[in-house]
């Protein structure tokens, strides 16, 4: 009698044992990171804002399951992602233990240390003590033996690059990271870090810079440095933290519900709104949303292996994934994008490229 549907418990889908979609690897081709053996999906999921204690755990679980079912095998975290700090890693760790542990060898899980995490001189930047202590804490929060990628999240104005890279080398030799990389380092510091890593025998394989239609600092020397060193890139904020979406196409102001982090509080200037509308017109001609245009534009750079996006809903993630199948850019479209983007007056990342 207990087998009758009448007596079966009504268990919500998200609370049932998870089995990944068998067609998950039919979505797109995976892209080689530089000259390494690391391959990433063209779209990776960042857990910066929508995986803290501000978001219900079931919403997070739904999004992570949907991402993996669509072929997104790379989940990107950092020690201070939340809010509050550390909560994204804790929440991910719980979902990983309940849903994704059988798929561990299919996943690329990354974390970072470099921004403020705890008080005192050893909870910020890139000293050996901070890097190693933070990595231990991240592994504990996520319940992992190792991460696939560990980054120095930003350059340190005081600590020598050699000390930071040696700490990354230690993590690899201890088996706590399979690959290591850097984020937001200038071309000059990147070259220095690559040289130290090569000498130690643990090469840097990946750089995570901010890169978008509206933020092209990487093209001023960094992409050339990465190409020469055989290092790949994964671009964060390819949507310029929401500017390159439909949020600002009206009067230049995002709704209160959409605001987070460093999105502009004041309305954009008329010229900036016109820039976004011009880019949106090009997207419409291509049969795309503005976000899809922006992501595909970032991925056109051969150094960029993946675009790191955030999402709050499966439908939003699907829109981003669809960018991979967009039509090739024509020379005229690329010229018009350059002409439009050159006039915008918003810079959210000036501090990330000073070192």
- Name the nearest CA neighbour of 47 among 118, 123, 100, 7: 100
pTM, entire model: 0.92
Residue 53's pLDDT is 97
Structure confidence by residue, pLDDT tens digits, 265-319: 667 788 888 999 999 999 999 999 999 999 999 999 999 999 999 999 999 999 9
pLDDT classification of 187: cutoffs 50, 70, 90:
very high
Output DSSP code: residue 215: B
pLDDT over 50 (residue 47): yes
Residue 258's pLDDT is 46
Residue 342's pLDDT is 78
- Say which residue, 272 or 329, is predicted with more confidence: 329
Please name the residue that has the structure tokens 């209160």.
256
Residue 302's pLDDT is 97
pLDDT classification of 221: cutoffs 50, 70, 90:
very high
- Say which residue, 144 or 248, is predicted with more confidence: 144
pLDDT over 50 (residue 1): no
Residue 123's pLDDT is 97
Residue 160's pLDDT is 98
Residue 255: C-alpha distances to residues 39, 154, 242, 246, 258 (Å): 37, 31, 11, 11, 5
Q: Mean of the per-residue pLDDT values for the chain?
A: 91
- Beta strands 31-32; 39-40: pairing state: antiparallel
Residue 333, token pair as written in the block:
């479209």
Output DSSP code: residue 245: S
pLDDT over 50 (residue 349): no
Which of 3-7, 61-65, 201-205 shows the lowest per-residue confidence on average (mean pLDDT)? Answer: 3-7
The set of residues, in sequence order, having a beta carbon less than 8 Å from that of 339 and lying 6+ positions away, is none
Structure confidence by residue, pLDDT tens digits, 96-155: 999 999 999 999 999 999 999 999 999 999 999 999 999 999 999 999 999 999 999 999
Domains, the chain, in order of start with CATH, read 28-242+289-328 (3.20.20.100)
pLDDT classification of 353: cutoffs 50, 70, 90:
very low
pLDDT over 90 (residue 240): yes
**For the chain, give me the number of helices (H) and strands (E)?**
10, 10
Structure confidence by residue, pLDDT tens digits, 27-37: 999 999 999 99
Of all helices (H) and strands (E), which one includes residue 151?
strand 147-152
pLDDT over 80 (residue 176): yes
Residue 355's pLDDT is 56
pLDDT over 60 (residue 262): no
Residue 117: C-alpha distances to residues 27, 85, 137, 152, 164 (Å): 37, 7, 11, 13, 17
The set of residues, in sequence order, having a beta carbon less than 8 Å from that of 127 and lying 6+ positions away, is 121, 156, 159, 163, 164, 167
Of all helices (H) and strands (E), which one includes residue 192?
helix 187-200
């Amino acid at each position: 009698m207990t087998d009758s549907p009448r007596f079966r418990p009504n268990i919500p889908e998200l609370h049932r044992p998870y089995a990944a979609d068998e067609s998950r690897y039919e979505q797109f081709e995976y892209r080689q990171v530089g000259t390494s053996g690391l391959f990433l999906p063209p779209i990776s999921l960042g857990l910066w804002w929508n995986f803290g204690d501000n978001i219900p755990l079931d919403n997070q679980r739904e999004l992570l399951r949907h991402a993996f079912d669509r072929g997104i095998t790379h989940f990107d975290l950092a020690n201070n992602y939340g809010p509050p700090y550390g909560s994204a890693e804790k929440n991910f760790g719980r979902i990983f233990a309940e849903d994704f542990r059988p798929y561990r060898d299919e996943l690329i899980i990354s974390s970072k240390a470099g921004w403020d995490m705890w008080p005192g001189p050893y909870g910020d930047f890139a000293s050996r003590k901070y890097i190693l202590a933070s990595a231990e804490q991240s592994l504990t929060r996520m319940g992992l033996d190792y991460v696939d990628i560990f980054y120095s999240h930003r350059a340190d104005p005081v600590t020598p690059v050699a000390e930071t890279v040696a700490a990354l080398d230690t993590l690899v030799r201890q088996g706590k990271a399979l690959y290591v990389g850097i984020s937001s380092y200038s071309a000059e510091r990147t070259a220095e870090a690559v040289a130290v890593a090569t000498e130690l025998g643990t090469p840097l394989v990946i750089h995570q810079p901010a890169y978008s239609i509206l933020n092209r600092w990487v093209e001023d020397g960094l992409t050339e440095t990465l190409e020469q060193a055989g290092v790949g890139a994964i671009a964060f904020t390819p949507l310029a933290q929401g500017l390159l979406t439909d949020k600002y196409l009206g009067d230049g102001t995002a709704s209160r519900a959409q605001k987070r982090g460093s999105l502009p509080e004041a309305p954009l200037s008329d010229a900036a709104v016109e820039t976004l509308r011009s880019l949106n017109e090009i997207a419409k001609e291509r049969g795309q949303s503005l976000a899809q245009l922006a992501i595909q534009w970032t991925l056109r750079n051969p150094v960029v292996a993946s675009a790191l996006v955030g999402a709050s809903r499966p439908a939003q993630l699907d829109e981003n994934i669809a960018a991979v199948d967009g039509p090739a850019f024509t020379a005229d479209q690329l010229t018009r994008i350059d002409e439009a983007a050159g006039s915008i007056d918003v810079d959210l990342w000036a501090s990330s490229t000073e070192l």
